[in-house]
Amino acid sequence: MMSSRRLALVAAAALPLPLLAACAEDPGTDPLTGTEWQVTNIYREEGEPSSLPPTLAGAVKLVFGEHTLAGNTGCANIQAITSFTADRLEVTDVHFHPEDGSPCTGADLNVHQAVSDILRSGPLTILHPSDSEMILREDTGRPNPPALRLARPVDDPHE
């Protein structure tokens, strides 16, 4: 039989469990939904460094809704339809709308094209190296396929 002191310790240890469960994220929600992600790196070819120039740092963004994607490539606004599971993302019906009508050239155009190519490549694998980081990787079967590395902005309320 347990001593009264030991019983009190067990009861005290178990007390916070219902409180923690009440604060847990709804299992039906996905960490992508309603979050803004900044593209921090773009990987196109194996062995090549990221192709995101410092001038576009923080400008290339993706925001996921329940079945939608919106954002900006640094050259154009993006709108698309999405479906996803915990580890797969499918992007369809992708539309790009130039921001101000001016032509997109140089490094900005390269970034725009890379983001467009990766999003349109077919189903993407979703990896989460950390709670505030995500990688969207093409499903090519190659060891280092093209990918986007994204991070939540520091002031994101979902962190």
Domain CATH number, residue 88: 2.40.128.270
pLDDT of 1 strictly over 60: no
- Domain presence at residue 55: yes
pLDDT of 24 strictly over 60: no
| Confidence (pTM) | 0.75
Contact, 37 vs 61, CB < 8 A? yes
- Domain presence at residue 20: no
**φ, ψ dihedrals at 95, nearest 5°:** -130, 135
pLDDT of 143 strictly over 70: yes
pLDDT in tens, 83-93: 999 899 999 99
Between the alpha carbon of residue 31 and those of residues 155, 156, 157, the distances in Å are 16, 12, 12
Q: Secondary structure of the chain in the HEC alphabet?
A: CCCHHHHHHHHHHHCHHHHHHHHCCCCCCCCCECEEEEEEEEECCCCCCCCCCHHHCCCCEEEECCCEEEEECCCEEEEEEEEECCCEEEEEEEEEEECCCCCCCHHHHHHHHHHHHHHCCCCEEEEEEECCEEEEEECCCCCCCCEEEEECCCCCCCC
- Domain presence at residue 158: no
More confident residue, 24 or 44: 44
- What range defines the domain where residue 143 resides? 31-151
- Domain presence at residue 92: yes
- Domain presence at residue 64: yes
More confident residue, 141 or 71: 71
In this predicted structure, what is the pLDDT of residue 31?
Answer: 64
Domain count, the chain: 1
In this predicted structure, what is the pLDDT of residue 95?
Answer: 95
Mean pLDDT of all residues belonging to the chain: 79
Ramachandran region, residue 45 (left: φ > 0; alpha: ψ -120 to 50; beta: rest)? beta
pLDDT in tens, 84-138: 998 999 999 999 998 777 778 898 899 999 999 999 999 999 999 998 999 999 9
In this predicted structure, what is the pLDDT of residue 15?
Answer: 38
